[in-house]
Amino acid sequence: MSLIGRKKEIDILNEMFSSNVPEFLAIYGRRRVGKTFLIRSFFENKKCVFLNVTGVKDGPLEEQIRHFTKEMGRVFYHGATLKEAKTWDSTFEILTEAFKTVRKNKKIVLFFDEFPWMATRNSRLLQTLEYYWNQHWSQDKRVNLVICGSSASWILEKIVNNKGGLHNRLTRNIYLEPFDLRETKLFLDSLGTKLNHEQILQIYMVMGGIPYYLSKIERGRSAAQNIEILAFQSKSFLADEFDNLFSALYEDSGIYIDMIRLIASCRYGILQDEILKHFGKTLQGSTGLKRLKDLQDSSFIMSFKSHFHKKRGIYYKVVDEYVLFYLDWIEPIRSTLLSKGHMKGYWEKQQNSPAWHSWAGYTFESVCYKHIPQISHALKMSPTAIPNTWRYSPRKGTQDQGTQIDLLFDREDDAITICEMKYTENPYIINKQEAETLKRKMAVFKAKTETNKQLFLALISVNGLKKTIYSEDMVDAVVTLDDLFRRE
């Protein structure tokens, strides 16, 4: 499998590898996003000594050290069997001595993958790493240390934002994001899977730009056929992945799943205070805020403040496509899937249902949020234009109607562009009723925000816009699916 995209990350790795000083890199991001593949693909073909050790989930200290020692013997001593130490301190002492076997002009790359799993309770691995980096490895210009783990929140808290011996010791860090639509197409092309933009979008709405998931797509099959196999057959991959995903990241995964379910049930987002109130004593004080941060660090949810209403607090939305798909489509019928699978052609039949069209609509919104740079470019926005969302929820007992703005750009040229996102199989049609709805939405926005800025309306539509007397009068710009596939 070839390395697709990741230009910015490869530039960072090239700078690090060519540096004449010791380097310490942390890489983090959503599980299955390709962190390990990126590091291995980059360094395994470089002229360096590459020590790659991977932690074992729930493995005891002895097992972690045994695997580490075996890799040291293989990399530094031509496969010789080394005597295992009982502590990380003694193990890192052996590693430091092993550096003496390497030529003075040859790089030594230490890649500690799934590092949070290696840091078992009472192992003092983190404290030992702090000591050996500060006392020994940071004095050796050959050393490139790379720390990685599935738990993005752990890497951020313990490594990136460390308050102890590793404070300000990182020289670089990489947050690895999922592929965008363009990179997804390049990745599928590299696997020999040639699909058009709409087919790729359907796959993206199910699994996002997660390379590991995308690698399961079979060539010669349509998006619907692949989704059928991966999600709606007995023991299918996407049916089993959900529990594996959360249990790999969190010890008490059940509460995180319950939080995800609650947030996902609120299409337009839910206030932080409402989440904490819902769970009561379970998420009191800093515990609840930390768990929300954990979910956000892993890219399952996003936080935002409604434009012009920032005092109302922080909202959260689920933005992970796979999580949304699982909760909406797999979980309700999972007991059937796990026992005997579902009827053949189930997913294709669902694509004509009102539930599917509703799901496709708000999932397309989530995809658009991942492609704001491309939307901004297509709309010729200034770099200073601020993207945001806006909502108005009237108080109980009033006659006001609430409304939601999917996306807006607050511009410095005394204007605001309001964006409507629409998923339809054909060019979107604005009829008289839809025109009245859009006019009301913009009127409510103008009245409640009391803005004097010029309002423009842009449509983000998979298949563009069909011209009508209403569209000609209302819509100022159109962004299509093809625009989302372009480089920003």
Average pLDDT over residues 407-415: 95
% of the chain surpassing 90 pLDDT: 80
Q: Which residues of 431-449 are buried (b: 16+ CB within 10 A; e: fewer)?
A: eeebbeebeebbebbeebb
Report d(CA 148, CA 170) in Å as an integer: 13
Closest to 419 (Cα-Cα) out of 307, 296, 265, 320: 307
**In this predicted structure, what is the pLDDT of residue 281?**
82
Taking a C-beta distance cutoff of 8 angstroms, is the pair 422, 362 a contact?
A: no
- pLDDT tens digits along 207-250: 999 999 999 999 999 999 999 999 988 788 999 999 999 999 99
Report the DSSP pairing between strands 386-392 and 415-422: unpaired
**In this predicted structure, what is the pLDDT of residue 402?**
81
Average pLDDT over residues 89-118: 97
Average pLDDT, the chain: 92
Number of H helices, E strands in the chain: 23, 15
**In this predicted structure, what is the pLDDT of residue 305?**
82
Taking a C-beta distance cutoff of 8 angstroms, is the pair 353, 230 a contact?
A: no
Architecture of the structural domain at 372-484: 3-Layer(aba) Sandwich (3.40)
**In this predicted structure, what is the pLDDT of residue 403?**
87
pTM of the model: 0.91
**In this predicted structure, what is the pLDDT of residue 345?**
82
User: Which residues, other chains included, contact 166 with Cβ-Cβ below 8 Å and sequence gap of 6+?
Assistant: 126, 129, 130, 133, 159
Q: Which of 53-67, 269-283, 405-419 has the lowest mean pLDDT?
A: 269-283
- pLDDT tens digits along 431-478: 999 999 999 999 999 999 999 999 999 999 999 999 999 999 999 999
CA torsion, ordered 350, 354, 360, 365, to nearest 10 deg: -170
Tokens of 486: 């372009």
**In this predicted structure, what is the pLDDT of residue 69?**
98
- pLDDT tens digits along 284-333: 778 899 999 999 999 999 998 877 665 668 989 999 999 999 999 999 88
Helix 237-249 to helix 223-231 angle (10° resolution) is: 60
- pLDDT tens digits along 332-391: 888 776 565 566 788 988 988 999 999 999 899 999 999 999 999 999 999 999 999 888
Report d(CA 94, CA 454) in Å as an integer: 68
CA atoms within 13 A of residue 143's CA, in its CB half-sphere: 21
Average pLDDT over residues 54-77: 97
Fold agreement (7-176, 372-484): no
Q: Is 167 helix (H, G, I), strand (E, B) or coil?
A: coil
CA torsion, ordered 136, 139, 140, 145, to nearest 10 deg: 70
CATH topology (fold) of 7-176: Rossmann fold (3.40.50)
Q: Per-domain residue ranges for the chain?
A: 7-176, 182-366, 372-484
Report d(CA 488, CA 380) in Å as an integer: 11
**In this predicted structure, what is the pLDDT of residue 290?**
92
Taking a C-beta distance cutoff of 8 angstroms, is the pair 401, 363 a contact?
A: no
